[in-house]
Amino acid sequence: MLLLIVFLICLFVVAGTGVLAAMSDVRGLKIPNMYSGIIIGAFLLCYGLLWLGGRDDVFAPLFSHGLSALIVFGITLAMFMAHAIGGGDSKLATAFAFWLGLKGLIPFIFYMSVVGGLLGMAALALKKWSPVKDPKPDSWVAQAQAGESKVPYGVAIVVGALVSFLKIGYFDVEVLSSFLIE
C-alpha cells in the first residue's frame, strides 16, 4: 500500500509540475529549469523506492528510461540548435522521457507532434485575426498577435507525456491494483 501511495504521489507531482510548466510557457514562453528538475527527481525517487520495495515490474529497466531520455535530448538539442524550440522545451521533453522509457517514446513523440501542430495553427490564427483584446504583455498570445512566430511547445510536451502515461499503463487498474495484491 505504501508503494502505491509513493507511486501515485510521484505521478501527480509530475502531472502538476507539467501543468505549471505549460502555464509558464503560455504566459511568457519560458519554462524554468526547476520544473524539469522536479520531474527528473520524482522519477529517480519513484524508481528507486519501487525497486527497493521489490516492484521493479512497474517501470522498464533503468537502461530503457535512460536511453529514452538520451534519444529525446539528442533530438531536441538538434532542434534547439536549429532554433526550432527553446532550451526549456528540450529540458522538459528530456525530463518526461525519463518517465516514459523506450516503451512510451513513440506515443510521446506522436502526441507531442499532434498537439504542437495544433498550437502552430492556433498561432497562425492569432497572428491573422488578433482575436484577443489586450492580451497580457509578453504572453504567447500577445507575441503571436504581434506577428512573432512562436509556439508554447511546453504545452505539447506536457500533453504528449500525460497521454503517453495513459497509453503505457501508469494509470491502468491492473497496474494500480497490483500494488494491493502483495
Tell me, what's the pLDDT at 81? 97
Residue type, 85: I
Is 115 in contact with 160 (CB distance < 8 Å)?
Answer: yes
- Contacts of residue 70, defined as CB under 8 A and 6 or more positions apart, other chains included, come to none
10-residue stretch averages of pLDDT, the chain, 182 residues long:
96 98 97 98 98 94 98 97 96 98 97 97 96 94 94 98 97 92 70
C-alpha cell at 130: 488578433
Tell me, what's the pLDDT at 181? 81
pTM recorded for the entire structure? 0.96
Is 122 in contact with 155 (CB distance < 8 Å)?
Answer: no
Tell me, what's the pLDDT at 182? 60
Phi then psi for residue 151, to 5 deg, are -135, 135
What is the maximal distance between C-alpha atoms in the chain? Answer: 58
Residues 47-67 pLDDT 10s: 999 999 999 999 999 999 999
Tell me, what's the pLDDT at 133? 94
Is 112 in contact with 156 (CB distance < 8 Å)?
Answer: yes
Cα distances (Å, whole numbers) of residue 174 to 95, 169, 179:
26, 9, 9
Tell me, what's the pLDDT at 163? 98
Tell me, what's the pLDDT at 40? 98
